[in-house]
Amino acid sequence: MTTRRPALFLDRDGVLNVDRGYVSRVEDFEWIEGAIDCVANFKRRGWFVFVVTNQSGIARGLYTEEDMQTLHAHMAEELEKAGTAIDHFYYAPWHEAGEIARYRRESIDRKPGPGMLLQAMADFPVNREQSFLIGDKQTDMEAARAAGVGAFLFTGGNLATFAEWALASFEDGVRG
């Protein structure tokens, strides 16, 4: 029997990295202050850490899935250099008004839908009741609630500091 563990779900743009609008190239990527420390702190606790990110820029034809995978590989390399890791990157390339036909559709995976979080909980032995999401938009909060996990709205500053506050609040019964 595999022991279930809590998970920290993190939105990408605006939470892990500075949101410059459709960030898809390594040269445009910049970590949010405290982002790497946040991941490391939760991994040290034995938590899963997942990225759950809408990537409608793919459907809009602004960049490709390969571009996004290259950026995620860069993030993973930087985290590895710091001695930590993301357990899995989940992304939703869909948008109902997309320019690229194969990505033009509605999807439960696209936040505010809970699909990416539910998929992570199906793929890994996650303890849902002890898990929460940090996002920077109301759609992130809605997705977390729909998936049955806590939710905290990040509005800037040091992500590691915010995540520690969120964890303490969550442990005190605040669900975001």
13 is known as an active-site residue: yes
Q: For the segment 96-124, what is each residue's pLDDT rounded down to a tens digit?
A: 999 999 999 999 999 999 999 999 999 99
Cα–Cα distance measured from residue 155 to residue 42, given in angstroms and rounded to the nearest whole number: 20
Domain ranges of the chain: 7-166
Helix residue spans in the chain (DSSP H) = 35-44, 56-59, 65-81, 115-123, 138-147, 159-171
Length of the chain: 176
Cα–Cα distance measured from residue 176 to residue 167, given in angstroms and rounded to the nearest whole number: 10
Q: Which of 13, 37, 87, 140 is catalytic?
A: 13
11 is known as an active-site residue: yes
CATH, domain 7-166, list 3.30.70.260, 3.20.20.140, 3.10.20.30, 3.40.50.1000: 3.40.50.1000
- The helix/strand/coil state of 9 is strand
Q: For the segment 44-97, what is each residue's pLDDT rounded down to a tens digit?
A: 999 999 999 999 999 999 999 999 999 999 999 999 999 999 999 999 999 999
